[in-house]
Amino acid sequence: MANILVTGGAGYIGSHMTYALVDRGHSVTVVDNLSTGVRGLVAPQAEFVEGDIGDETLVRPLLRHRNIEAVIHFAGSVVVPDSVEQPLRYYNNNTMKSLTLIDACVQEGVGKFIFSSTAAVYGMGEDHPACESDEKSPINPYGRSKLMTEWILEDAAKAYDFRYVALRYFNVAGADPQGRTGQSTPRATHLIKKACQVALQRAPELEIFGGDFPTRDGTGIRDYIHVSDLIECHLLALDHLIKGGEPKVLNCGYGQGFSVREVVEAVSRQIGRPLPVRIAPRRAGDPAQLIANPSRIRSELGWRPAHADLSDIVASAYAWEQRQNA
């Protein structure tokens, strides 16, 4: 069993990761500055440290004194339109703080690193489904901030005793099947979360951001992946690094896209009545479609998703949201 540092472990995906690691008997330290994370979502078996990954004086002693073997790095800002309005905040939070963290790992001899990258590195998603080797031309500061971090990792791995897996997430949704954690970020922007909130009448209607994209029904298309399947990608990546595997960059998605309207239909089926919607202007920085080609992670890590079904994802997100309501 390994000593693992999870950054952003009080956040949506990081809290699922922490549960998965402690469930498998790993010893987990979570660092989170609680800017968007929720303390109550951190698995009770994990050690929680409130602090910032950009603070070298916090991170280096943590890595050293806790004999950290691997770092799984989730901490960062994730909202595409916010990154257009506040690019410098995104470059600071996502790129500069990651650089500080990676440097601390190199200095302290922590040579296994898993990074939360994004489908946003592909830009317009014109070549779709997107392969890892496709051209990277992000169209928003969020995607650029993550792509720069991928480059830092690539160069660090060439120069030092440091290996990493960068996982390019497509649209993560759903919640822990045991109901221990889920998407709880205040003012969440995710489509499926917001649709579930409308379904529970916590908002009057869902805005569809753009009805004139060049897609089959005019609304944006995304590849929605269940958070449990995404966590499995990380567990496989961790095993790969522990066994001495080489650096890798891998897509995490199912290879199947759904439009906003198709998601709305799935939520309507879940609640047995039509979800109220309204067409609103496009959001800044939104590409028309992003769909993964997941063959590399399937062949190289043997990933076999267990929840590749939109109704399953919606049901799990809805169950979590109902619990939040209660």
List contacts with ligand UD1 (CB under 6 A): 78-80, 118-120, 169-171, 189-191, 194, 206-209, 220, 222, 260, 283, 286, 290
Strands (DSSP E) contained in 244-318 are 248-252, 258-259, 277-280, 289-290
Angle at CA 193, nearest 5°, toward 192 and 199? 85
Q: Are strands 277-280 and 206-209 parallel, antiparallel or unpaired?
A: parallel
- Least separation, in Å, of the C-beta of 263 and ligand UD1? 7
Nearer to ligand UD1, 194 or 296 (CB): 194
Nearer to ligand UD1, 80 or 114 (CB): 80
Output the six-digit token pair for 82. 């916010």
- Least separation, in Å, of the C-beta of 40 and ligand UD1? 20
- Least separation, in Å, of the C-beta of 256 and ligand UD1? 13
Nearer to ligand UD1, 33 or 94 (CB): 94
- What is the H or E stretch that residue 232 is in? helix 227-242
Nearer to ligand UD1, 111 or 138 (CB): 138
Strands (DSSP E) contained in the chain are 3-7, 27-32, 47-50, 70-73, 112-118, 163-169, 171-173, 206-209, 221-222, 224-226, 248-252, 258-259, 277-280, 289-290
Q: Is 308:256 a contact under the CB 8 Å cutoff?
A: yes
- Least separation, in Å, of the C-beta of 77 and ligand UD1? 9
Q: Is 198:276 a contact under the CB 8 Å cutoff?
A: yes
- Reply yes or no on whether 142 is catalytic: yes
**Which of the following is catalytic: 12, 90, 91, 142?**
142
Catalytic residues: 142
